[in-house]
Amino acid sequence: MAGGHTGAKGVVHVERRRFLGLAATGLTGAVGLTATACGSGSDSGDGVTLKMVAADYGDPGGDNSTQTYWDEVSRAFTKKHPNITVDVSVYSWNDVDKKVADMVKRGEAPDIAQIGAYANYADQDKLYPASDLLSIPVQADFLPSLAEAGEVIRVQYGMPFASSTRLLFYNKTLFSEAGLDPEAPPESWKELKRAAAALKDAGVKIPYGLPLGPEEAPAETMMWMLSAGGGYTDTVGTYTIDSAENVRAFTWLRDELVGEGLTNPGPGSTDRQDLFDAFCRGEVGMLNGHPTLMQQADRHDVKYGTAVLPGDGGPAKATMGVADWMMGFKQNGHREQIGAFLDFAYSEKNHYAFADRYDMLPVTTAARERMRRDKGHKELWSFLDELATAEFYPAGKVSWAHVSAEIKKSIGKAVEKGGSPASVLGGLQRKAEAEETAAQ
C-alpha cells in the first residue's frame, strides 16, 4: 500500500513531497497515441492474455471486493480489444507485495502489478517507463506531484493509481456514553489518552485501535512519527527512523496507551481491516483511518466523526498521504497490450468509478475535478484538501520496499511490555542505511 507527509510548513525535500499541483492543461481531451505508447489500435495479431496482480480495497470476500471492479473493467476492455484478455488476481494488502516479489523472483513476473512499491523493480530494469506505455494525454493527466513521486532518476516508472489521506475516526455514540463531548475529538496525545481512559471505564472493548500488524504497520508508524514532528526521512531524503522525535512517539505509545491497556491486545499482530471491522461493530472508540472506512461505517450505521490526527502538544502539523502504484513489467514483452489496457483503466470513466466505489482520492486531474463537483462525495472534499500538506512514503527510494517489509515484521516489538523503542527503531535505521548502501 500504499503510500507519508511533511513536518514544518514550507519544507520541501526529495522523498516527502508536498501535494497538489495543477496538471498540465490542454492535454486531457481525446486520448491519442504516441510513437512509443500504444493505445486502442495496438491489439492486432494473435491473442494475448495479460496477467495482472492487484490489491484489494474492499471488504475481504465481500460484494465490494476489488476483484469485482477489475473483472468488470477487463471484460469491458476485451469487448473493445478482442485479441487482448486480462486475467486479474486480487490479493489482500497483507499478501500482494510479497506475491509479486515471489513471482518476479521465480522469473514469472506479471505483466501488470498494482501494489505498494515500484522503485526496486525499476532499479533492476524490470519495468517499462510510463512514457513507453501510456498515451500523452493519459500520462499528462496525472497530478504532477504524484507523477514526480513515481520517478527514479527523473524517469517515471510508477504510475499512481489511488491515493488517500488519514484522519482520526471516532465513534460519537461511544463518546457520549463515556461522558465525552462527541463534537470535541482529542487534539493532543494527552487528550487522546484521557478520552481512551474514559472509553475504557465505560466498557469499550478497544478504546484506541492500534494496527501495527503487517497490513498497516508502515502507515500507522508514519502517522505516529509525524504526530511527534518526526518522519521516515529528513529534508534531503536521508533516513531518520531512530530520531529523537520518533523514539519519543513510540515510547509514549508503549507507556501511555499500550501499557495502560487502552489499545487492542497485541498491536504488532493486529491488522487494519480487523480494527475497521471492529469499529463498525461498535467495539472501537478511536483509530486512524482513510476514506474507505467512511463507506464501511456508513453501511453499518455507525455515527462517527473525523478530525486531524492528535499530536504531541496539539494537532499534528502534517497529514499522512498514501499513494499506491501501477507498473508494467518487461518480461513478457507485452508493451503495447499493457499500454492499451492502462490507457483504458485510467480513462476518466473507469478511474472515477474506482474512486467512487472505494472512497479513494483520484490521481488524475479529470477525475479529481469530477469528484469536486460530485456533492455525493462532499465528505471526501476535506480529504482532498488534506493532500495539499500531505507527506508520503519515500517510495522513490529503491531501498523502501525492503525497509517497509522490515517495519511490518518488527515495529510491533517497540510497544510491547519491556520493549525498547530506541533499540527497535535503531535496528530499522541500520537496516535502512544498509539497504541504501546496497542500492547505490
C-alpha 96/C-alpha 214 separation (Å) is: 11
For residue 83, the tally of other CB atoms under 10 A from its CB is: 13
- CB-CB contact of 200 with 390 (8 Å): no
- CB-CB contact of 298 with 279 (8 Å): no
* All cell numbers assigned to 382: 476535506
pTM: 0.72
- CB-CB contact of 421 with 254 (8 Å): yes
SS3 168: strand
* All cell numbers assigned to 366: 479529470
- pLDDT of 384 reads 82
- pLDDT of 17 reads 31
- CB-CB contact of 138 with 124 (8 Å): no
- CB-CB contact of 164 with 384 (8 Å): no
Q: What is the mean pLDDT of each run of 10 residues along the chain (440 residues)?
A: 32 29 31 36 66 88 83 98 97 92 97 93 96 97 85 90 92 98 98 98 98 93 96 91 98 98 97 96 96 89 95 91 92 98 97 91 92 89 74 84 92 96 98 89
- pLDDT of 5 reads 28
- pLDDT of 46 reads 67
C-alpha 440/C-alpha 152 separation (Å) is: 13
- pLDDT of 45 reads 46
**Opening angle at CA 355, ends 8 and 32, nearest 5:** 100
C-alpha 83/C-alpha 175 separation (Å) is: 57
Question: 76 Cβ partners below 8 Å, 6+ apart?
Answer: 344, 350
C-alpha 40/C-alpha 47 separation (Å) is: 15
C-alpha 194/C-alpha 440 separation (Å) is: 47
- pLDDT of 388 reads 59
- Percent helix, strand, coil in the chain, to 5, is 45, 15, 40
Domains and CATH numbers, the chain: 48-165+322-391 (3.40.190.10), 167-321+399-439 (3.40.190.10)
- CB-CB contact of 219 with 232 (8 Å): no
Question: 196 Cβ partners below 8 Å, 6+ apart?
Answer: 207, 208, 257, 260, 262, 263, 285, 286
- pLDDT of 439 reads 75
C-alpha 245/C-alpha 310 separation (Å) is: 15
- pLDDT of 96 reads 95
- pLDDT of 34 reads 34
- CB-CB contact of 411 with 44 (8 Å): no
Question: 349 Cβ partners below 8 Å, 6+ apart?
Answer: none
- pLDDT of 144 reads 81
